[in-house]
Chains A and B, each alone.
Chain A
């Protein structure tokens, strides 16, 4: 695995017994002890995730806000310093380039967090689109490490290490401060459906910060959690993952992310015409979420069938919900099929898909 990128915590993970795998070209911990146990620890107390593989981008300049409002589908004009926004970024077709967090750090100063597997593609796209605007785009991905502390006890754990008043930092807001003496951008965001913080900090400080958070958190039930638990937590929460629920071919409207597409925000944006048309004409397909009442996992790309065996779509994501103790997932199906009985064939056993509106479990935090 010598050609894989490594986060500053690669040896920390190995020393803590992680199973390291190739994820989007990064050598990352998929699990330490058990995906299911790490998942439950996050829902019960807290988990510490290394997500330093994510990309960070500075967007600065007198037209930074105007440019970003053209680049993404959500309304960047609503931001104020310290406010974070989730948004897809679309192609003119309405398909998704990536989904990202936009943080307004100050006037004319924005900070993006983008998916690890999309960094090169996103930067090329963002730079290309930015040419008519007075903005400077800077890739900061190598400068930052990112630790996520997630779970009902996350605030208590992080608060024990910082003088910043976390009670004043609302969900989807940031503050700057030191955590364990290390300067951090402290963001009350996450990808688990729990309360929690994402701590952006200098790459060279990552090991010290991880050790200190682990030591402070372990007596409070915090466990190291890998990408396996991160994926099952996000699916249980009903959050999309780029490449699964949203892709170049699955628009945010098809994916059920209409709340992130502000067609009437008073500014044109890339993909708007296509998304207006999709909304007006109605989409052909839609992303649905299902549970099965069975423990067999319904894996991505499994065909979704009608009662008589016709193919109505395909599975996008599937896992076992550790809390529900049954398999759950998402699928892309024709809109007409979404009101019919849907089944999948798992090694000769037919499982009925029971469509549900996510989240699958009660979340402590609404998606803002």
Chain B
């Protein structure tokens, strides 16, 4: 049912992480996450420069239904945030893997990404 792109890694808390060619990573929430939340109305992201530990809360995504914390899939420093989500949070519903990206991170420990789920394992988690 949910779209789970093969080229991404996933956290059990439903964030995705994409390793870019330059070794940095892009983070967002999965199609399953946006679909479960329903109409997304607000996104709160950290400031550029914030240093995140793996599993640390980095923001909040809010839908008509509920507000949910966002968790850093791995440790890193926030290089950029998707400020466009401020005015158009619904992009998370329509394009969770493209226009709905949230953070670009410089990874503290690149090997940490291997602890995340591959697409097949994440699909299995979704059942």
Contact = CB atoms under 8 A, between A and B. Distances in A.
B41 A295 contact: yes
Contacts of B60: 347
A347 B62 CA distance: 12
B93 interface: yes
A36 interface: yes
A347 B67 contact: yes
B5 interface: no
Interface string A216-242: 000000000000100010000000000
Contacts of A299: 67
Contact of B41 (A19, A31, A297, A347): A297
A316 interface: no
Nearest to B64: A35
B42 A34 contact: no
Contacts, number: 36
Contacts of A297: 41-42, 62, 64, 67
Contacts of B42: 295-297, 320
Contact of B39 (A36, A296, A347): A36
A228 B60 CA distance: 21
B77 interface: no
A320 B44 contact: no
A36 B38 CA distance: 10
Interface string B26-48: 00000000000011011010000
A52 interface: no
Category for how many chain B residues contact A: 10 to 19
A34 B39 contact: yes
A179 to B, nearest CB: 31
B89 interface: yes
Contacts of A228: 38, 64-65
A320 B93 contact: no
A19 B89 CA distance: 21
B67 A35 contact: no
A319 B65 CA distance: 9
A296 B90 CA distance: 14
Interface in B15-73: 38-39, 41-42, 44, 60, 62, 64-65, 67
Contacts of A34: 38-39, 93
Contacts of A232: 64
Interface string A340-356: 00000001000000000
Nearest to B59: A347
A295 B63 CA distance: 10
Contacts of B62: 295-297
A161 B90 CA distance: 36
Contacts of B65: 228
Interface in A305-327: 319-320
Nearest to B69: A347
Interface string B65-95: 1010000000000000000000001100100
Contacts of B90: 36
Interface string A235-275: 00000000000000000000000000000000000000000
A34 B64 CA distance: 10
A229 to B, nearest CB: 9
B44 A347 contact: yes
A295 B89 CA distance: 10
A228 B93 CA distance: 17
Interface in A147-187: none
Interface string B91-121: 0010000000000000000000000000000
A299 B115 CA distance: 36
B2 to A, nearest CB: 14
Given A297-B62, A347-B44, A347-B60, A35 B89 contact: no
Interface in A5-52: 19, 31, 34-36
A34 B93 CA distance: 10
A35 B90 CA distance: 12
Contacts of A347: 44, 60, 67
A241 to B, nearest CB: 15
20 contacts: A31-B38, A34-B38, A35-B39, A36-B39, A36-B64, A36-B90, A228-B38, A295-B42, A295-B62, A295-B89, A297-B62, A297-B64, A297-B67, A299-B67, A319-B64, A320-B41, A320-B42, A320-B64, A347-B44, A347-B67
Of all A-B residue pairs in the complex, the 5 with the closest CB atoms, nearest first, are A295-B42, A320-B41, A36-B39, A35-B64, A35-B39
Given A31-B39, A320-B41, 4 more contacts: A34-B38, A35-B64, A228-B64, A320-B42
